[in-house]
Structure 1
Amino acid sequence: MSILLTPARTARLFAALAAQQQSLPSKQHPVPLPHCPAGRHRPHQVILKGDGTGLDFIGCGHAFTLTREALLAGLAAQRAV
């Protein structure tokens, strides 16, 4: 069963994911992936479904559903980073 993510929470999550991805080429320690919104685990992988309707956290097993509004809010926050 998927958990619905709100646009605001999706925006924060996508911004944190963008910051993590931008830190990877550095020689210093990269920024860790953000915590799962449903728990305090840090996943080892986060997968955005190709159609943008879902986000899966690998490691803790939580799956989230994204509405169109949530996906757009997340993408806008990702571009702002």
Structure 2
Amino acid sequence: MIALHPTRTARLFGRIAAQQNEHPTKPRPVLLPSCPACTLRSERATLRADGRRLRFTACGHVFSLTREALLAGLAAQRSA
């Protein structure tokens, strides 16, 4: 598991929200921003309900999020 810094989490969540808002009527999921570890783009990422883990399905990388990282990401997502 890879720890994701709050700043990187904020950038990632902000990019995800911006991409999803850019293509809201697409019937298929829009590709997510690339994985911070390997730059592979995935159609799906899973955020655990408690917000502690983020998993990219294409590459399988799992990131651990601190409370601060999750809050920074959610704030960036809201402002996108």
Structure 1 residues 1-81: aligned runs within 5 Å:
2-26=1-25, 32-81=31-80
Give the share of equivalent positions with the same residue, in percent: 59
Q: 1:20-61: CA deviations, max 9, x gaps?
A: 22123246xx86310000012001211111000010000101
Conservation of the 8 A alpha-carbon contact between 1:57 and 1:63: yes
> Structure 1: which 5+ runs fail to align?
none
Aligned equivalents of 2:53, 2:25: Cα separation in 1: 29
Displacement over 2 Å in runs of 4+: 23-27
Q: How many residues align?
A: 78
SS of the aligned residue for 2:33 comes to coil
Root mean square deviation, CA, Å: 1.6
TM-score (norm 1): 0.88
> Structure 2: which 5+ runs fail to align?
none
Answer with 8-17 or 30-39: which moved more.
30-39
TM-score (norm 2): 0.89
